[in-house]
A and B are shown apart, each in its own frame.
Chain A
Amino acid sequence: GESVGLHLPTLSVQEGDNSIINCAYSNSASDYFIWYKQESGKGPQFIIDIRSNMDKRQGQRVTVLLNKTVKHLSLQIAATQPGDSAVYFCAEIQNTGTASKLTFGTGTRLQVTL
């Protein structure tokens, strides 16, 4: 049968407003972070990344902020559109020497209302 697990937290935002999605990561040794967008029934899509020696990076309509002191990552989406509705995952990457290992966070569902 289906496993019972945590339900994804949901963020509901009106079209045109800005969205802020937060993520807490676990490993202070992680040196690279990525935000992914996953639409229903599809694989994750790369949105933006940031290295641990940076605290902010901007893309087109998206900004990622990294606070290493509290191990917190956020994704800001400007002027949110209906097409932004999806589940967003942060992922931390640890370089283990032989290969980098990617660990996903729990995810947040973004619902854009008209």
Chain B
Amino acid sequence: GAVVSQHPSRVICKSGTSVKIECRSLDFQATTMFWYRQFPKQSLMLMATSNEGSKATYEQGVEKDKFLINHASLTLSTLTVTSAHPEDSSFYICSARTAADTQYFGPGTRLTVL
């Protein structure tokens, strides 16, 4: 099946700093990628839809200035958590959609903000 990677897998940062997470589709092109957030023992919540070459679409309640999304190519989307705070600590997961409308998920990035 299709492979989606995320980098880094784990990141620890100080409060107030910004963190960038990359999501790559390794063997297919994805015009659409999705970013999810998952707190411990909870389900995945969609944060935003990332569209190649255009602005991301954010879900209600997600601050677009806080979570910057860039989808500069058909294989790469980035999520930048700006001015991170401890409450932003979470597991961030991306997915990439194939032309057949199937979503493949990345392995996730564990963000810990001290």
Give A contacts to B, CB under 8 Å: 1-3, 5-8, 36, 41-46, 89, 99-107
Q: Are B46 and A8 in contact, CB atoms less than 8 angstroms apart?
A: no
Binds A, one of B66-74, B76-84, B98-106: B98-106
Q: List 25 A-B contacts (CB under 8 A).
A: A2-B40, A3-B87, A5-B40, A5-B42, A6-B41, A7-B41, A41-B108, A42-B107, A42-B108, A43-B4, A43-B106, A43-B107, A43-B108, A44-B44, A46-B1, A46-B102, A99-B32, A100-B101, A101-B46, A102-B34, A102-B46, A102-B103, A103-B46, A104-B45, A105-B43
Give Cα A103 to B91, complex, Å.
17
CB neighbours of A99 from chain B (8 A): 32, 49, 97
How far does the Cβ of A102 sit from chain B's closest Cβ, in whole Å?
6
How far does the Cβ of B111 sit from chain A's closest Cβ, in whole Å?
12
With contacts defined as CB atoms under 8 Å apart, how many contacts are there between chain A and chain B in the complex? 59
Partner of B43, one of A2, A43, A89, A100: A89
Give Cα A103 to B89, complex, Å.
22
- Closest chain B residue to A32 by CB distance? B101
Secondary structure of the A side of the interface?
loop
CB neighbours of A107 from chain B (8 A): 42-43
Q: Are A89 and B44 in contact, CB atoms less than 8 angstroms apart?
A: yes
- Closest chain B residue to A102 by CB distance? B103
Give Cα A106 to B49, complex, Å.
21
Give Cα A83 to B105, complex, Å.
20
Q: Which of B31-67 contact A (CB under 8 A)?
A: 32, 34, 39-46, 49
Give Cα A9 to B107, complex, Å.
23
Give Cα A5 to B38, complex, Å.
11
